[in-house]
Amino acid sequence: MGERVDGQGESGRAVLGRTLRFLREKEGKSLGQLADESGYDKSYLSRLESGERLSKVTVMEDLDGYYGSGDLLVSLWKMARIDAFKDKYKEYMRLEAVARLILVYAPDIPGLLQTEDFAREVLSGPQATGHDREAVEEQVAARLGRQLLLRRNPAPSVRLIIDEMALRRPSASMDTWRDQLAHVEAVAQSPQVVIQVLPFSAGVHHFMGKGSLTLLRQADGSSMAYTEGGSNGVLMDDPDDVLRHCLSYDRLRDLALPPSDSLAFIKGVVEENRS
């Protein structure tokens, strides 16, 4: 069904579901009782236990509190969420989750900065069926789950270069867009994240039309480069490829506004969209 994570051939989602069922039965609770006491729908809880659905991480936080299981369910959820990504992205997700330094160039609002409503709009198709909407909700949950790395201890150092176009192209809902811009502003002021804006005034640059670029550096000193454009994502660990993309990132950073000027720029865009 998804990424194999144990010797029994179970996916992360199956392991999480089995654990949820075990904890409930250990407490001697029926699904109906759990639904009444937790506030979650019975059919929803049943689908979590069967591995049919991926919840938001906040649901696992609630159930960890309910069962007194520490962070067991959240930890299993972090593995299970990988199932929501296509196979070619899973290794990248694994590496991103443990990276000590993350450098990103993005022509759009990057997933690490997206709010739930904005992510839902980005991931939704124009003619979504009921099944499609469910798949979208799983992708939204998985994307938001990536942002847990910003709360990791120790937290990674994250530097993001965002093209000005990302801050100028509004979503369909102005309320969603205002919330998204405010979130970017708030994250830009957190101590472990540096955001720089690549302004239109920088002109044409060498990475235009090539999508996004991410560089990951691990605790052991190893580095990887990941590029994504359209439906294609490429993960590279060859030293020459990584060095070439490090130089690309450095050139983009040289063109971008300094962090303090970038924050002022973002605040200005937030103000423009409040009127």
What would the pLDDT profile of 23-71 be if each residue is shown by its tens digit? Answer: 999 899 999 999 999 999 888 899 888 887 888 888 999 999 999 999 8
Tokens of 116: 């739930």
Q: Which of 145, 174, 138 is nearest to 272 (CA)?
A: 174
DSSP 24: H
- Predicted local confidence at residue 141, as pLDDT: 86
Residue 1 has pLDDT above 50, yes or no: no
Give me the mean pLDDT over the 119-135 stretch.
Answer: 72
Helix (H, G, I), strand (E, B) or coil at 128: coil
Give me the mean pLDDT over the 15-20 stretch.
Answer: 90
Element (H, E) at 192: none
Tokens of 196: 């720089």
Among left, alpha and beta (phi > 0; psi -120 to 50; other), residue 129 is beta
Give me the mean pLDDT over the 99-110 stretch.
Answer: 96
Measured between alpha carbons, how far is 109 from 118 in angstroms, rounded to an integer?
A: 9
Q: Where are the beta strands (DSSP E) in the chain?
A: 101-106, 157-163, 193-198, 212-217, 223-229, 232-236
> Which residues have a Cβ under 8 Å from the Cβ of 165 and sit 6 or more positions away?
107, 108, 200
Q: What is the mean pLDDT of the chain?
A: 87
Query: Is residue 175 packed enough to be buried (19+ CB in 10 Å), middle (13-18) or exposed (0-12)?
Result: exposed
Tokens of 268: 């200005």
Cβ distance 20 to 63 under 8 Å? yes
Domains of the chain: 12-82 (1.10.260.40), 91-272 (3.30.870)
Element (H, E) at 98: helix 87-98
Reported as a pLDDT band with limits 50, 70 and 90, residue 8 is very low
Question: Considering only 77-86, 204-213, 231-240, which range has the smallest mean pLDDT?
Answer: 77-86
Measured between alpha carbons, how far is 165 from 133 in angstroms, rounded to an integer?
A: 28
Cβ distance 34 to 24 under 8 Å? yes
- Predicted local confidence at residue 88, as pLDDT: 60
The pTM of this model reads: 0.72
